[in-house]
Amino acid sequence: MSKQMILSAMNELIDAQSSLHMYPDPIPKDEITDGARGFLSETDSWCKHSIEHSRETFKKLKEIGEMVERIKYELYKLVRDNKINESDYEKIYEIMKDL
SS3 per residue for 50-65: HHHHHHHHHHHHHHHH
Separation CA 36–CA 31 (nearest Å): 11
pLDDT of residue 86 exceeding 80: no
Report pLDDT for 14.
96
pLDDT tens-digit readout, 30-70: 888 888 888 888 999 999 999 999 999 999 999 999 988 89
Which pLDDT score is estimated for 20? 93
Give residue-wise pLDDT tens across range 1-29. Answer: 578 889 999 999 999 999 999 999 999 98
The rounded distance, in Å, linking the Cα atoms of 61 and 35 is 31
Spell out the residues 6+ positions from residue 89 whose beta carbon is closer than 8 angstroms to its own: 75, 78, 79
CA dist 31 and 14 (Å) reads 27
Give residue 75's pLDDT.
83
Note the pLDDT of residue 94.
82
